[in-house]
Structure 1
Amino acid sequence: MDIVDKAIRNWKLHGLALLFVIIAELIGAKKYQLGPGLIVLVPLLYSFALGALCGIKKLNILSRDDMVEASSLVGVTFFLLMARYGTLVGPNFWKVVETGPALVLQEFGNIGTVFFGVPLAVFLGLRREAIGAAFSNAREPNIAIIGEKYGLDTPEGRGVMGVYITGTIFGAVFCSLLSSMIASTVSFFSPQALAMATGTGSAGMMTAALAPLLEMYPDIKDELTALAAASNMLSGLDGVYLCVFLSLPLSNWLVKKLGVNDPPSVPPEKKSNA
């Protein structure tokens, strides 16, 4: 039986998911003043925390097989989530069209990741790993790019996989907190611009970052959701080309400028062909 079939038939996973949703919704959104900023804790974060607690071995709530099966359902549930977002794009179609150039050009914000992330990674002791770690937000398409060019069992591959795993565990929580802090402290950005910024190519991170904005601006929540969904979709399209032709070469150049002169890695299969 396929692992997804097993997961779908696993009553424990569905029961826990329903229980976590009920608990999270009963708690509701909570807002806390933190200095000049506002931290918005949304039900999504509580459900993340409750799910993480199930992985503690001593609690013996989920077995390793249960957790593997649960992970196989992530992709399935995101299909449903994106279908829901798609229903909001239609009614706001012309607003999305009006912001078309901004949606495309905001992808160049990935370059900021390079100029901030690569020097920080090198400063912390990484060498060629800094390229894989900081040329993108290290989601599935970016892993494929690094895997094809360098191989995953290389410094570049270890860099992208390290950030991928870290992002999977902490990314949604970090994006949610960052979104609420920026929205409450930086008045320069419009809610629409912040919503577009949540679309980084990761449905989970987008949803987590968008949730505080919807709490802060409930009157335009459908418009913000449509812009975020459209931005996320475009990030999966032009974002790949931007990484291949711009941010990856830029990361290589910057690493050399910072004094890392290690030669680029070559995947084993390309070595054998040579």
Structure 2
Amino acid sequence: MFKSWKLHILVLIFVILGEAIGVIQFDLGVGTVALFPMLFVLIWGGIISFPKLKLLSDKQMKNAAGILGISFMLFVAKLGTMLGPSLSKIFEAGLSLAFQEVGHVIGTIAIGLPIALLMGMKREAIGATFSIDREPNLAIISEKYGADSPEGRGALGVYVCGTVFGAIYLAILAGFLGSLGIFHPISLAMGAGVGSGSMMAAASGALAATFPNDAEEIALFAAAANLITTILGTYICVFFSLPVTARLYNWLEPKIGRFGKERG
């Protein structure tokens, strides 16, 4: 892993260029979109990883994935040091911090499942919409249905899309919503904790750029929400989200499935 000198050099160049560009903000009239260095680095990384360009081998990309996992462990450890001294603030948030979990569960099922069926997806829709499909959710769907099942393919597809586009999408969305002045920055920070380290970092970074005076509390509450989602979300997906999604699929698919009732 650490012998991939080409990979490390490319990462170093991207980090230097990203920091040199800094935060770029666009005024859209009804709000502002903030683009910060992590977004640029993600886009550049996606470009050089494109198979046809042959700039990186499969082995190098697998090494990069391993290094990313280590980096997130360090990132989560850093967030943990922020959580400890601020537990009193988190307890004050109380119900509001826990209630934000409802959106993470209901949003993917109530909105995502009907859309997936209208687009013509079959049982792949179950795996694609019962959660945001990060690592713990992939393990759940693989244990229940198998990795090679339609449900497994649906979950893996969303996982890949989330990895490639999730951080970019949430960063733009968070910056835009923050600039509208409708929502409190802490409520947006809670919403940033969707159970993905990269997505949470992207969204909270955009919010910190929009609300620089609240940057520390934004990072704190985003990390707390992300931790709650990761821990409680696993149990919620096993005992609620997945069974409910499967039942709703069986009920909705014959009614709104794009190609009519599923055969076989």
Q: Distance in 1 between matches of 2:262 and 2:101?
A: 29
Q: Does structure 1 residue 216 correspond to structure 2 residue 210?
A: yes
1:258 is paired with a residue of what secondary structure? helix
1:39-54 to 2 correspondences below 5 Å: 39-54=33-48
Residue identity in the other structure for 2:115: L
Moved more, 173-182 or 118-127: 173-182
Residue identity in the other structure for 1:128: R
1:200 is paired with a residue of what secondary structure? coil
1:198-209 to 2 correspondences below 5 Å: 198-209=192-203
Q: Quote the offset at 1:262 in angstroms.
A: 5.3
Contact 1:86 1:226 survives alignment (8 Å): no
Residue identity in the other structure for 1:172: A
Q: Distance in 2 between matches of 1:185 and 1:256?
A: 40
Residue identity in the other structure for 1:24: G
Q: CA RMSD in A?
A: 1.9
Q: Distance in 2 between matches of 1:185 and 1:91?
A: 31
Matched with 1:236 is: 230
Contact 2:18 2:38 survives alignment (8 Å): yes
Matched with 1:70 is: 64
Could you tell me which runs of 5 or more consecutive residues in structure 1 were left unpaired when the two chains were aligned. 1-6, 265-274
Q: Does structure 1 residue 146 correspond to structure 2 residue 127?
A: no
Scaled by the length of structure 1, the TM-score of the pair is 0.87
Matched with 2:131 is: 136
Contact 2:127 2:141 survives alignment (8 Å): yes
Q: Does structure 1 residue 100 correspond to structure 2 residue 83?
A: no
Q: Quote the offset at 1:59 in angstroms.
A: 5.2
Identity %: 43
Contact 2:253 2:262 survives alignment (8 Å): no
Q: Does structure 1 residue 80 correspond to structure 2 residue 82?
A: no
Q: Quote the offset at 1:186 in angstroms.
A: 6.0
Deviation string, structure 1 residues 81-124 (Cα, Å, up to 9, x no partner)? 11222222233221112113222222121112110000000000
Q: Distance in 2 between matches of 1:201 and 1:29?
A: 25
Q: Distance in 1 between matches of 2:191 and 2:199?
A: 11
Matched with 1:124 is: 119
**Over 6 Å off, 4+ runs:** none
Moved more, 86-95 or 28-37: 86-95
Q: Distance in 2 between matches of 1:57 and 1:118?
A: 31
Q: Does structure 1 residue 251 correspond to structure 2 residue 245?
A: yes
Matched with 2:109 is: 114
Aligned partner of 1:179 among 158, 166, 174: 174
1:32 is paired with a residue of what secondary structure? strand
Query: Number of aligned pairs?
Result: 257
Residue identity in the other structure for 1:31: Q
Q: Distance in 1 between matches of 2:218 and 2:141?
A: 32
Aligned partner of 2:22 among 15, 28, 50: 28
Q: Distance in 1 between matches of 2:197 and 2:50?
A: 26
Q: Distance in 2 between matches of 1:12 and 1:233?
A: 34
